[in-house]
Amino acid sequence: MTIGEFQKQSITKLQKADIGSASLDVLILLEDVLRKDRAWILAHLEAPIKETSIHILDKQITRRGKHEPLAYIRGKTEFYGRKFYVDNRVLEPRPESETMITLLKTLLNHKATYTKDRPLCMVDVGTGSGALAITAKLEEPNINTMATDIDPNCLRIARKNAKVHGAEIKFYQGDLLSPLLPVPSPLFAILANLPYVPNDFTINQAATMEPKIAIFGGPDGLDVYRRLFGQLGKLKSRPQYVLTESLPPQHAKLAKIAQKAAYGLTIADDFIQVFKLKE
């Protein structure tokens, strides 16, 4: 079978399964298995595919036809230009979350100079795959970075990703900020991409295969954020900033939750909000 023949029949199969990104998905899987870039594949549609490769690809197309996320099938995804290992134990990092890193960098650029001798500290709460924490550390190497997650399976993946990228991060298991309550280091910022989808919200089929604990956040989607802001007062030193991700229609209500904890909204960019501790 040639690349073109496989491509055509696989696209048809995925389209019948109502996969909207059928053409792109097939191309991505071909790139992975054949270890060729997109331009080469499109220029060599008459090239034959080895039987061993067809066997692997057929299994992957079948999985994708059942709406399994492409990242789980590939075992990897990209975030902020870097590859991260993911599987069904963690939520796939979303492009919307990249804005959180960009805004963090903006906040740090306006901060007085900090170095290894004068470090700032930040924590990624509910780290999952570790993508946010690792990216923040790689983009801002002089900031001391910590990450928490309640699920030990998530922390295994996050540690694996940190090792691959050579990112020095302290990981803690526990509910939100609870494992950090004894930590004396003053925090500059908290990154919080927590579950925010309302329980009765209809999600797509691919998302139903992701961990529900990482998606749904109660009747209005903000229960986990209420607990987070409730824990801030228990820290020995409250962070100067809290960066959150939620649906834009939730922003007004989340701002009120933050306000009760003495944090005011300073920036809103798509899904991301930045709250600053009031003086």
256: pLDDT strictly greater than 90: yes
Q: Is the pLDDT of residue 131 over 70?
A: yes
Question: Which pLDDT band holds residue 110 (cuts at 50, 70, 90)?
Answer: confident
Nearest Cα neighbor of 93 from 105, 77, 104 is 77
Confidence class of residue 184 from pLDDT cuts 50, 70 and 90? low
Least confident among 10-14, 66-70, 107-111: 107-111
What's the distance, CA 265 to chain centroid? 23
The CB-side HSE value for 225 (13 A sphere, CA atoms) comes to 36
Cα gap 67→18, rounded to integer Å: 9
Find residue 275's DSSP bridge partners: 242, 265
Nearest to 58 by CA among 16, 29, 15: 29
b vs e for 233-263, b when ≥16 Cβ sit within 10 Å of the residue's Cβ?
A: eebeebbbbbbbbbeeebbeebbebbeebeb
**Which ranges of the chain does DSSP label H, i.e. alpha helix?**
3-16, 22-34, 38-43, 51-65, 70-74, 98-109, 131-139, 152-165, 223-232, 251-260
Q: Which two tokens stand for residue 109?
A: 């650029």
The whole-angstrom separation of Cα 110 and Cα 108 is: 5
Evaluate if residue 186 carries a pLDDT over 90. Answer: no
Residue 125: which pLDDT band, with cuts at 50, 70 and 90? very high
* Domain extents in the chain: 3-66, 76-277
Span 76-277 CATH architecture:
3-Layer(aba) Sandwich (3.40)
Mean pLDDT for 48-63 is 96
